[in-house]
Amino acid sequence: MLHRHAGVACFDQDVFINAVGGVKIAEPAADLAVLAAIVSSLKSKPVRDKLVVFGEVGLAGEIRPVQRGQERLKEAAKLGFTHAIIPAANQPKAKIAGMEVIPVNRVDEALGQLF
């Protein structure tokens, strides 16, 4: 999916995801963040500082909205995050103080905003 919809070739790589403390990731909102971590690792480039990323990723490369998007953004702002890449459908109606929200519809759009 990364290769087809974002031009990121990783078919020749073994990819292992390890969450801190052995936390099991079962929520689809983590999909986009996991892709961001994979691309960051493949390119050996850290993502933008103080960035939060969430969204469900479909097999066609679309970014789907997640539940409680507004609450996630507000909590991230309280924790000091200043940038957010989120599904366009979760874009807040009102600006969140201290946070630049970047709404995306597709995986390639999202990955273009990481660095």
Q: What is the pLDDT of residues 20-73, one digit of tens each?
A: 887 788 899 999 999 999 999 999 999 999 999 999 999 999 999 999 999 999
Other C-beta atoms within 10 Å of 91: how many?
Answer: 16
Is the pLDDT at 109 greater than 90, yes or no? yes
pLDDT the model gives residue 44 = 95
Report if pTM > 0.85. yes
DSSP secondary structure, 80-109, as one string: T--EEEEEGGG--SSPPTT-EEEEESBHHH
- How many domains are contained in the chain? 1
pLDDT the model gives residue 33 = 95
pLDDT the model gives residue 2 = 85
Mean pLDDT of the chain: 93
For residue 51, what is the domain's CATH number?
A: 3.30.230.10
Boundaries of domain holding 57: 2-112
